[in-house]
Amino acid sequence: MSNLEISAPPGIPQIVTTVDFDAPRYLVFRAFMEPDLLSQWLGPRRLTMTIDEFDPRDGGRYRYTHHDPEGNAYTFHGVFHGDPSLEGTVQTFEYEGAPGHVSMDTLTLEERDGGTQVKTNSVFQSVEDRDAMVAAGMKTGVTEGMERLEALLEKLKQQSRGGKTQAA
């Protein structure tokens, strides 16, 4: 996937990512909002994901854990602000290994040439918090996650065309 852009402007506590997918917006939205789909793509390939809670509505909470092959666990949680929709989703994001360092994440899905542009805007409490996220390997996790999402969207497109009848 060559169209992923990640921007972390110097001195600004923000990370913006954009990526285009050859899939309709409703399928991309499903991949972000349905726990059984989300767990198939979010994060690096070497990690598996379990979802403890996922309630995508205004005030709803989520909590999930990534597990590595060595048995380590990395847990994240947050709260949805406003009801998620095709127009956008706003939520907090916090790594339980560094409590108190919360970002506000906005997801926007825009239809483009029959596909969907996914844009995330993460605003951190400080530049130091933003830099810690970058230093923790965020680029690798986002890149691999978007590659996995692209593959999942291909499966979902085939299913929606009647190409496959089994669940993703």
12-47 per-position pLDDT tens digit: 999 999 999 999 999 999 999 999 999 999 999 999
Answer whether residue 58 is part of any domain. no
Answer whether residue 61 is part of any domain. no
Which of the residue ranges 92-96, 110-114, 163-167 would you say has the lowest mean pLDDT?
Answer: 163-167
Answer whether residue 116 is part of any domain. yes
Confidence at residue 137, expressed as pLDDT on a 0 to 100 scale: 87
Answer whether residue 141 is part of any domain. yes
Helices (H), the chain: 25-33, 35-41, 127-135, 138-160
Answer whether residue 168 is part of any domain. no
Answer whether residue 49 is part of any domain. no
164 or 59, greater pLDDT:
59
- Please choose, from the candidates 134, 59, 64, the residue with its C-alpha nearest in 3D space to the C-alpha of residue 90: 59
Confidence at residue 165, expressed as pLDDT on a 0 to 100 scale: 45
Which residues constitute the domain of residue 149? 5-42+86-160
pTM to 2 decimal places: 0.91
Rounded to an integer, the average pLDDT of 104-111 is: 98
Total tally of structural domains belonging to the chain: 1
Answer whether residue 71 is part of any domain. no
What CATH number has the domain bearing residue 100?
3.30.530.20
Answer whether residue 81 is part of any domain. no
Token duo for residue 41: 């793509």
